[in-house]
Structure 1
């Protein structure tokens, strides 16, 4: 039997703590459940401020299996998996984290309900055939994939192991897959794997406007919103601390009567589809106690006034000056007292988007950032972010450390990220930047040491996209509305993959209106993020390799159809395209990416913004000056570079763009110098297209 911690008995009674005190890692004094409780909170095992809090609910278990599984769960929480069970399973952890424990017990519950349906009422009644039948039952379900089915069977192995290790075993037999291997009990393996590299990147039409508005919130609107929040807090404190007297009641009546006499709107807020008086705002304006407003409106003689409010609702403007602009136009006419909580919510969401997207951090790493994580460099130089990493952090026994550990090498922060962190430091001046207390409504509570949950942040991001689109329409910028993502909700975990996708594929695209991706890639690769634990450089390599493979495959198909190619690097491009058929299948691992990126004969990058392809050779590249890198700077393509190649499609794009420029130049509303410049640019592009037609070569005649 595996030894229990000294603080707990070998066999628990109803008052025994669920979790041994030596295992508690949560900050503060978390609630500690006892064995008899129906709800076993696992919060004491969680030190990660952004991790989800989970709770085992025993009331959902069948009565006949509840106590047998309760004892096995108590053993799993407080003891390590016996060493004999770990033999042959190097990836298994002796101890599960709280989410792993919760998931395992949830799977036991499903097994218990299935056993009840089979007419069994005790775990001792199970046989090897019972386990085989259950494995087949789960494997046949269409929603169950191989990985999930594997976790289901591993959970039952743990049930057997911890039951056998307890002081009062129920007699669970060994599952057959523990002896014969698990493969024969699982559904067929999928064609491709899952995980981070299988997530879809957020499309440009969604990510571009989303980032633009997030940056505007942080750079241009944050000062107004934070000042307005202080003004709103002063109004609230005035209303809450004003003593109710006869004089203040008279002031209130006079204030409201004057509004009605003038036919003026009454400060109100929209709640559940109806306009209601903003009592706090009116109390502050009239100089009365908050309760006096409520009492005044409840009086029967004021029924007519409530009808008046419904017919004449008005804003609650704050005295805050609006200084933020969009192309010289104020982003809001005035800031409303009732809108401040939502604006603060949008501001913190914008900060999360900026930090998560422009650093490549995982959501949990962003949520764990603390006040002071990005100090001012001394001497002046790059800003660095000091944070914690959680993925893959294990103790000496191979178990996951809930608290994570400080990142070995700090993240590099570009200017927009530093600005977002400074805004967050104003919102949350103590402790975690995303502490729930600092971002809750109402504010002012002490820090909790816990952050906004991932599910809550997902909802906040969806709300922010709607707000950004509404603001774009209000400011007559329909081109900057955030398009719906065809892959579903944006979530929190796709920003990292999307950043790598855009750096690798769209260095001059729509999103680059806000950030120079070439600079961002150089910053990330310049020694910090590249060397740190789990840096984004591997994801960048995978996305760059995928882009290269896609470019070569498209070029191969075009050349076989008779498409012409020209330029000083045309021969090298043809040679590279000949190897495209070897790239069938998806590139999912860093090793596969290195095999492609490490082959100098395959370094072909499409650059539609410059109407060309780069067949990259470091010694011939003109996009680099003093910087040392193994990737081209597609935002610096030079027309005289020896690495350029063009196809017929690029030539067609040159002509189309030239025609658009000629049309602009012909406009009478355009100043002559600008018209001449556009005309010269159009002439230059047409010259490049003509040169392509003169110099291009084709591998075969185009199909008739």
Structure 2
């Protein structure tokens, strides 16, 4: 039943189009928490107006919000209004006309500090947090013409003429992305571990779980096996005896719990009981029951004792585990030690966490988009040539859309498709159900890290130690954007090529220009622009220090730097203040930076498409971007080499030497490779000639 306006509790849990990030607690609005009954009506009228800005009564309010606020946002504003109104009540205020600017400032100061914890001082909160309190105090003024029970005095506005952001000193949200990328020392071991769990361990874990489900039928729930079921149990015992399989054993934790219960009862027989380690419940489930009655246990005890002496006890699942290569040295080991069902469920949950983290790290999806992934979301299609497959994930775009979001698709790489396919096997849910119930990556990774260490599984699988540190979908998204922008052709983590991710992102933008992947590509392009400017400033500073670029395009670049240097010197004479930071230098170099395209072994300053060697070779002189993969930087008049590129060319020389020395390489191919080597040596020599000897030795 829909709630009525005069109710103090509004239950909106049946709201249509609710997306999965919305919790039930956000849809149950307790206006009764407001101590003053008159102000409960004020809060109701304000939150309704926020959700219905096109209503006739709301349109008459000249300062009202004109964009629709979602129920989640309105719920949050309701909480802020509740806190503001109750603080006023504590100060003895009974009517809103009594509110003064001094009261608003006092309340803001109170809300600007964190709730103190034992042995720790309070800390001042970020402006992004406190601005919402200012915003909600102003709401009462904006909807004054709508309010029926109370309001501020005529003409009063908290902090008149200032926005909530200006009041608290919050910077423009669009200025700088403040999300920090995940450090490599956490990212690399995390991804190596998660990819190992998904690609190596995961398929075996899924198969074992399916075997467990097949052998423990749902019909077992609630049934107790009695003496009449003794033939079924004896048939099972005969099979165990024939196959020489051990009897099912409890886990160490279960045995300790059973022993502690017996000690509490004053019974020490358990330690001498030959059937003490026996997992009775597992025995019952193998015959289609949930438990064995005490009478049946007593009847079968002599036979079980005799059988235990012959075959012993062992945990029931994963006894004959297939071999897998260790991550560290490729030594073949059983993928798991024998497990009880509870331990198998724990293992499955951690593999599912690995699937989630791989998906988040290699797609750049937001938490809301990860939440919307459902069982059956995978889409695969062959290209027109039929030579390759494109992988897509169907979901919903939530941020910036109407409540509930809109359908959307992500183009992803094969590793992500593999992770999602494995997750669908692990959860075993009907199509359309949520794939990941929780997107708390930080807690998931912490639990995975602790389990790997405490169980000894990390060392047995040869996995690296994952350092502690905050992990979220936001910093993984930022990490991926920066990695694509700053490391062309490099690796995000073991076995994952960034260029493939970049291609998938671009294809996703082309397929759905307004979708999530277009927004992610915008983040990548922004990071790429910042990186180009940083590299250009760095190249300029190096040239100032005498570390000049080399290569066919070096002369033009040095001339551009000389021009910028002259402008800086002129600025230093006319207005020394502009040299306090790099802002002036960045503005002078921005035009040069816009032409920079970063290659793995060179910088391409794409000033004139008609001079680009790659476009001439490809026969596309009208292209707007260079073909970095076809770059011959030793001959292109717009390419430069810098000291940072020296290791790449040295690596090419080493690789060529390996092939030249190999007897399997044809003689004609060796001749071609020697020409390539000569060119690489010439590039290295040019880099060395343009750099001070001390810096060359450091590289």
Assess same fold via TM > 0.5.
yes
Contact 2:141 2:152 in 1 (8 A): yes
Larger radius of gyration: 2
Partner residue in 1 for 2:460: 474
Hey, what's the Cα distance between the residues in 1 that align with 2:194 and 2:619? 33
* Aligned position for 1:29: none
Match for residue 106 of structure 1?
79
Are the equivalent residues in 1 in contact too, given 2:552–2:640 (CA < 8 A)?
yes
Query: 1:74: which partner in 2?
Result: 44
Using the TM superposition, give the Cα deviation of residue 533 of structure 1 relative to its aligned residue in structure 2, in angstroms. Answer: 3.2
Indicate the residue corresponding to 2:642 in structure 1.
647
Which position in structure 2 is the counterpart of 1:44?
Answer: 15
Q: 1:532-570 CA deviation, whole Å, 9 max, x = no partner?
A: 335122111111112112212222222222224322232
Q: Is the contact between residue 216 and residue 288 of structure 2 (CA under 8 Å) also seen in structure 1?
A: no
Q: Unpaired segments of 5 or more residues in structure 2? A: 115-122, 259-276, 569-577
Task: Please report the RMSD computed on the Cα atoms of aligned residues, expressed in angstroms.
Answer: 5.3
**Distance (whole Å) between structure 2 residues aligned to residue 216 and residue 234 of structure 1:** 26
**Distance change >3 Å, CA 388–CA 556, structure 1 → 2:** same
Alpha carbons of structure 1 residues 428 and 248: separation in structure 2 relative to 1, 3 Å = closer
Equivalent of residue 351 in structure 1, options 351, 355, 369: 355
Whether 1:329 aligns to 2:328 is no
2:640 is paired with a residue whose SS is strand
Work out whether residues 536 and 593 of structure 2, in 8 Å CA contact, stay in contact via their aligned partners in 1: no
Alignment CA distance shift 1:691-1:148 (3 Å): same
2:411 corresponds to: 412
1:269 matches 2:251: yes
Cα distance between partner residues in 1 of 2:650 and 2:559: 27
Does 1:362 find its partner at 2:372?
A: no
Q: Deviations over 1:288-340 (max 9, x none)?
A: 84433899999xx99xx9xx9xxx99533236753655547356145633332
Describe the shift of the 1:129–1:292 C-alpha distance in structure 2 as closer, same or farther (beyond 3 A).
Answer: same
| Partner Cα separation in structure 1 for residue 652 and residue 370 of structure 2 | 42
Measure, in 2, the Cα distance between the counterparts of 1:672 and 1:651. 29
Is 1:568 the counterpart of 2:560? The answer is no
1:48 positional shift: 0.8
In structure 2, do the counterparts of structure 1 residues 413 and 576 end up closer, same or farther at CA, with 3 Å as the change threshold? farther
Q: Give me the whole-angstrom Cα distance separating, in 2, the residues matched to 1:275 and 1:638.
A: 70
Contact 1:249 1:292 (8 Å CA) reproduced: no
Matches within 5 A, 1:394-473: 401-407=402-408, 410-426=409-425, 427-432=427-432, 434-435=434-435, 452-455=437-440, 457-464=441-448, 472-473=458-459
Contact 2:61 2:144 in 1 (8 A): no
What TM-score do you get using the length of structure 1 for normalisation?
Answer: 0.69
Superposed counterparts of 1:487-498, under 5 Å: 488-498=469-479
2:201 is matched with which residue? 221
Residues 56 and 124 from structure 1, CA distance in 2 versus in 1: closer, same or farther, beyond 3 angstroms? farther
1:487-509 residue CA offsets vs partner (Å, 9 max, x unmatched): x4211223322221111112344
Native 8 Å contact 1:316 1:338 kept in 2: no
Name the SS of the counterpart of 1:412 in structure 2.
strand
Query: Any conservation in 1 of the 2:491–2:498 contact (CA below 8 Å)?
Result: no
1:505 alignment partner in structure 2: 486
Gaps of 5+ in 1: 1-15, 21-33, 394-400, 436-450, 588-592
Alignment of 1:531 with 2:513, yes or no, is yes
Aligned to 2:161: 181
Q: 1:543 to 1:347 in 2, by over 3 A?
A: same
Kept after mapping to 1: 8 A contact 2:490/2:499: no
Distance between the aligned counterparts of 1:279 and 1:473, measured in 2?
Answer: 32
> In structure 2, what is the Cα distance between the partners aligned to 1:583 and 1:406?
50
Query: Bigger shift: 186-195 or 111-120?
Result: 186-195
Q: How many residue pairs are counted as aligned between the two chains?
A: 609
Greater Cα shift, 175-184 or 69-78 = 175-184
CA distance in 2, matches of 1:220, 1:366: 23
Instruction: Give 1:34-433 correspondences, 5 Å limit.
Output: 35-37=7-9, 40=11, 44=15, 47-53=18-24, 54=26, 58=30, 61=33, 63=35, 65=36, 67-79=37-49, 80=52, 82-83=57-58, 87=62, 92-93=65-66, 95-127=68-100, 129-131=102-104, 133-135=106-108, 138=111, 143-159=124-140, 165-167=146-148, 169-173=149-153, 176-177=156-157, 180-183=160-163, 186-187=166-167, 189-190=169-170, 193=173, 197-237=177-217, 240=220, 244-246=225-227, 267-269=249-251, 271=253, 274=256, 278-284=279-285, 287=287, 289-292=289-292, 315-318=315-318, 322=322, 325=325, 327=330, 329-330=332-333, 332-334=335-337, 336=339, 337-377=341-381, 380=386, 382-393=390-401, 401-407=402-408, 410-426=409-425, 427-432=427-432
Indicate the residue corresponding to 1:605 in structure 2: 598
SS in 2 for 1:499: helix
